[in-house]
């Protein structure tokens, strides 16, 4: 995302049009950006795009990307002692 499009988006969330974002305005902007990222992540997880993420889809995504698992595979316990060889 370029700085220019960020500036444009800032304008969208500048509700009282004073040229700057108050905390409330920024919170709205931030929530929107987070939501976009969250939706993006959801769509990555939702392999068959049916609008719901099943445990199998999570497993398969984790297997593909090592997402949130630190790339662990097989029987390694999640959250166990770090294994850095
Ligand atoms: Ca404002
Ligand atoms: Ca699905």
Listed by start position, the domains of the chain span 3-65
User: Is the pLDDT reported for residue 68 higher than 90?
Assistant: no
In the reported structure, the alpha carbon of residue 60 is separated from the centroid of ligand 1 by a whole-number distance in angstroms of: 44
**Spatial CB neighbours of 15, under 8 Å, sequence gap ≥ 6:** 24, 25, 28
- For the four alpha carbons of 37, 38, 44 and 46, in that order, the dihedral sign comes to negative
Q: How far is the CA of 25 from the centre of ligand 2 (A)?
A: 34
**Secondary structure (3-state) at 22:** coil
For 3-65, CATH gives 1.10.238
Q: Using the mean position of ligand 1's atoms as its centre, give its distance from the Cα of residue 38 in Å.
A: 25
For residue 42, what pLDDT is reported? Answer: 94
Q: Residue 33 C-alpha to ligand 2 middle, in angstroms?
A: 23
pLDDT at 28 over 80: yes
Other C-beta atoms within 10 Å of 29: how many? 17
Tell me which residue has tokens 């902007």. Answer: 29
pTM of the model: 0.56
């Amino acid at each position: 995302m370029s700085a220019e499009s960020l500036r444009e988006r800032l304008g969208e969330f500048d509700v009282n049009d004073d040229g700057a974002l108050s905390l409330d305005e920024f919170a709205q902007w931030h929530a929107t950006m987070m939501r976009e990222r969250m939706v993006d992540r959801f769509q990555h997880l939702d392999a068959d795009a049916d609008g719901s993420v099943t445990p199998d889809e999570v497993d398969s995504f984790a297997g593909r990307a090592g997402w949130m698992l630190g790339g662990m595979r097989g029987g390694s316990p999640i959250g166990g002692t770090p294994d850095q060889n």
